[in-house]
Amino acid sequence: MARTPLIAGNWKMNLDHLEAIATVQKLAFALPKEYYEKVDVAVTVPFTDLRSVQTLVEGDKLQITYGAQDVSEHESGAYTGEISATMLAKLGCSWVVTGHSERREYHGETNAQVAAKSKAALGKGISPIVCVGEPLEVREKGTHVEYVVEQTKASLEGLSAEELSRTVIAYEPVWAIGTGKVASAADAQEVCHALRNLIRDLAGEEVAEGMRILYGGSVKADTVAEIVGQPDVDGGLVGGASLDGQAFAKLAANAAGPLN
């Protein structure tokens, strides 16, 4: 089964709602529409940018999709500062990032919380991009594959095969996020292949072959083609390189490959 690459920009805590409009406009202008047949392009933006991005995407009928960087596992109620999946769905979100290493590290998010947040999103028709990855000490010990497989299994706990078919996994080695260090294409393939085998065990061949597994961690325009060229890597979760609309368009075009 041919999987269309997904290039998802994670803006993190950058760009206010006015900068968001300018960035998405630049991205849309710089990426010719022919490329969208070969690559899916998304941005995950701060909550305060969502309405502006929604208005622009819908008003200009852009082929870019968008989403949020976190979601509450709760439906509604006395959870100060939280944002529910229902709220995100009303804003037209296609995606939500769950379990990013920065959320796990700075906010103490557990695998169980990541699974609950992902399930909440799926219940409202939003696809979670579930982030997993090993710290440097695990990589140096050589136990990274086992570590990431176990982390992923726990982060998907309780999701049905149907829910998994609407889920994306992003492998982000923690030591490569924002450091400029990049896992080699072979490193990315090794872990993504193991993750596809895990999904095969959890949900069967069809779901495993259809699931998109991304690589994240200092993805750049000049490295993305080789990474996406690996048999089990289906795109990238892109941080800093997604903050400039023109540069992100170039990265997405490189991921798409040459037009026929």
C-alpha to C-alpha distance for 91 and 66, rounded to whole angstroms = 10
239 annotated as belonging to a binding site for a ligand: yes
Let me know if 172 is a catalytic residue.
Answer: yes
Instruction: Count the helices and strands in the chain (H runs, E runs).
Output: 12, 8
Measure the CA angle with vertex 130, ends 30 and 237; round to 5°. Answer: 25
12 annotated as belonging to a binding site for a ligand: yes
C-alpha to C-alpha distance for 203 and 253, rounded to whole angstroms = 32
DSSP 168: E
Q: Cβ distance 31 to 41 under 8 Å? A: yes
178 annotated as belonging to a binding site for a ligand: yes
C-alpha to C-alpha distance for 171 and 233, rounded to whole angstroms = 9
Per annotation, catalytic residue among 100, 134, 144, 163: 100
* Residue 67 β-bridge partners: 44, 95
10 annotated as belonging to a binding site for a ligand: yes
175 annotated as belonging to a binding site for a ligand: no
11 annotated as belonging to a binding site for a ligand: yes
218 annotated as belonging to a binding site for a ligand: yes
Per annotation, catalytic residue among 73, 134, 163, 172: 172
Instruction: Name 115's Cβ contacts closer than 8 Å, sequence gap at least 6.
Output: 154, 155, 156, 157, 158, 159
Task: Kindly compute the dihedral angle of the four CA atoms of residues 252, 256, 258, 259, in this order, to the nearest 10 degrees.
Answer: -100
C-alpha R_g of the chain: 17
Q: Which residues are catalytic?
A: 100, 172
As annotated, the binding site includes 10-12, 178, 218, 239-240
Residues annotated in a binding site for substrate: 10-12, 178, 218, 239-240
